Amino acid sequence: MKAIDVHGHIQFPDFDTDREVVIKRAKDAGVKMIAVGTQAATSKKAIEIAHQFPDDIWATVGFHPNHLSKKWHHDEKEQYASEPEIFDIKILKELARDPKVVSISECGFDLFSEGNDAGLQRNAFVEQAELARDLNKPLMMHCRPSKGTDDAYEYALEILRDKSFDALPKIMHFYAGSLDMAKKLAKLGFYFTFGGVITFARSYDEIIKYLPLDRIFSETDCPYVAPQSRRGKRNEPAYVVEVVNKLAELKGIDLAIATEDIYKNSIRVFGLK
């Protein structure tokens, strides 16, 4: 069976010492992956690795909203540079033209952390959403709301309700909103990704049961948020199999069917070749 991790970060420095071994483990487990950029530097690295492993890895280009924070910090798992990168849509646009780039991501709104400016995030998000639309590549978003709200999703919807975005495939990565918001997004044709957190947190169960399988993707968000069997350890693409197993259980369907259908969803929406 072929499985897929549609949102991971195999290009991050956290994998520098054993990246090829990790990729081989994924390949042996039947797992393909999309390496997701979080700024120009990590997007460029994702593209390089996608070309190095053309049959198993694709890339995205994007600028994560947390990199616009007034309280930016250097995450050594993610960035080589100790200073924040400046958002430049022109650089991202050039990178996004590469044929291995299958989505504009990771971009959106993060209103969970102190010091994040919704205005700055909005400006960067609009430019990236327009880039996705203009290049006809799916938009995969990071939306993390303030505690107890759906505000990050509402901000994104305010922009994406423009009719010029109607035909654009829109994906909510690591969905963390309410059931009501999931219903609203599903009616508007959005897709959703789920990762390792669903194997140990029950707050996602009702949402996953509600959503049709053809609106769901599997992810790891590696090196973060490892599934139950490896909690506290570094996550990696091969572990997406555990996520798919939980999705199948929650949907009440055979694992082989869930794996195949989610993989086919990915081929169709991201245009993987």
- Nearest Cα neighbor of 43 from 5, 82, 9 is 9
Buried b or exposed e, range 17-44, using 16+ CB within 10 angstroms? eebeebbeebbeeebbbbbbbbbbbbbb
CA distance 133 to 187: 20
Q: How confident is the model at residue 264 (pLDDT cuts 50, 70, 90)?
A: very high
Q: What is the mean pLDDT of residues 247-270?
A: 97
Percentage of residues in the chain having pLDDT higher than 70: 100
Predicted confidence (pLDDT) per residue in 29-43, tens digit:
999 999 999 999 999
Asked if pLDDT for residue 1 goes beyond 80, the answer is: no
Predicted confidence (pLDDT) per residue in 200-243, tens digit:
999 999 999 999 999 999 999 999 999 999 999 999 999 999 99
- Nearest Cα neighbor of 237 from 16, 71, 30 is 30
What domain range includes position 186?
Answer: 3-270
Dig out the tokens for 17 from the structure.
Answer: 């010492």
- Nearest Cα neighbor of 190 from 220, 162, 157 is 157
Whether residue 223 is preceded by a cis peptide bond, meaning omega within 30 degrees of 0, is yes
Q: What is the mean pLDDT of residues 129-136?
A: 98
Q: Can you give the CATH number for the domain in which 115 is found?
A: 3.20.20.140
What is residue 104's predicted lDDT score, i.e. its pLDDT? 98
DSSP 97: T
CA distance 152 to 150: 6
CA distance 238 to 39: 24
Q: What is the mean pLDDT of residues 107-113?
A: 93
What is the pTM assigned to this prediction?
A: 0.97
Q: How confident is the model at residue 191 (pLDDT cuts 50, 70, 90)?
A: very high
Give me the count of residues in the chain.
Answer: 273
Contact 270, 6 (CB under 8 A): yes
How many domains is the chain partitioned into structurally?
A: 1
CA distance 223 to 193: 16
In angstroms, what CA-CA distances link 134 with 101, 130, 220? 14, 6, 28
Q: Which residue has the tokens 């994406």?
A: 160
Asked if pLDDT for residue 273 goes beyond 90, the answer is: no
Question: Across the chain, what does the average pLDDT equal?
Answer: 97
Asked if pLDDT for residue 146 goes beyond 80, the answer is: yes
Q: What is the mean pLDDT of residues 181-208?
A: 98
What is residue 102's predicted lDDT score, i.e. its pLDDT? 98
What is residue 114's predicted lDDT score, i.e. its pLDDT? 76
